[in-house]
Copies of this chain bind each other. A is one copy, B any other.
Amino acid sequence: MTERFVYVVSDRTGLTAEAMAHSLLSQFPTIDFETKTAPFIDTRAKAEELAGDINEKALSTGCLPLVFVTLVDDTIREIINRCQGTVIDLFDTFIGPMERALGQESSHSVGKSHGVSDDAQYTSRISAVHYSLATDDGMETDHYSRADIILVGVSRCGKTPTCLYLSLHFGMFAANYPLTGSDLTERSLPPALEKHRDKVFGLTIDPDRLLQIRQERYSGGSYSSARACQTEVAQAESVFRSARIPFVNTTRMSIEEIGATILHKTGTPRKI
């Protein structure tokens, strides 16, 4: 495998630039990229030091690093642009065309993207996280009237991380309820869920993958047996079908994909 060095340079957190770089680099799967993120590059001095590092890397490896850049300040960007690297400017490339399309100049101000733009929005996001914690794993079902969504499924199918993701990212009041015991053998939804059925969304998972996840946590015992995983998953899917609850199989999905799929399928408006 070829190795290539990659720098992600940003005047703020670098999170957006990192995600974009990752997405683009994933199109070259046979190259082994070694990525270094340089966040908070917001002074000339920092930019010059970083450019020096990049030049050294180019010299020592005999190969130009890829340099992904989101820098708002022209002077700082110029310093990075002059380095010995292949610069991919994720920001400036589009600002010109956008200025022409929108008929006005951009503000050239740093840090509008991930800052606390709005105290009320921040507070509601935090409230959502605390709501999801309080209603995790079937707790506080009497608070379901405040829920935006209630995820339902067998133990360890991904409910908790998905709820936390939905609350952290989208400010959703996301509760979750585990299907266990008699909930699995009934043909209808548990009473706590029945009156909020329009908010209920099912998660399912391949039994083999569930087995693997459960065994990593608690090996031995019927909970982490192949038979329990097969039976529970079949029962849960049967509950979803007979109660006409939409559901999604999480086996091949990341938490981000599960979250985006739920938003998409339920048409839930985002709060953030």
Contacts and interface: CB of A to CB of B under 8 A. Distances in A.
Interface of A: 4, 12-16, 19-20, 22-24, 26-31, 39-40, 64, 66, 70, 72, 86, 88, 90-91, 93-95, 97-98, 101-102, 104, 106-109, 112-116, 119, 122-123, 125-127, 129-130, 133, 136, 158, 160-161, 164-165, 168, 209, 212-213, 216-217, 251-257, 259-261, 264
Contacts of A88: 94, 97-98
Contacts of A93: 93-94
Contacts of A31: 102, 104
Contacts of A64: 101
Given A27-B108, A113-B23, A161 B129 contact: yes
8 contacts: A12-B257, A15-B19, A23-B70, A24-B95, A29-B109, A66-B98, A88-B94, A114-B260
B256 A94 contact: no
Contacts of A160: 129-130, 133
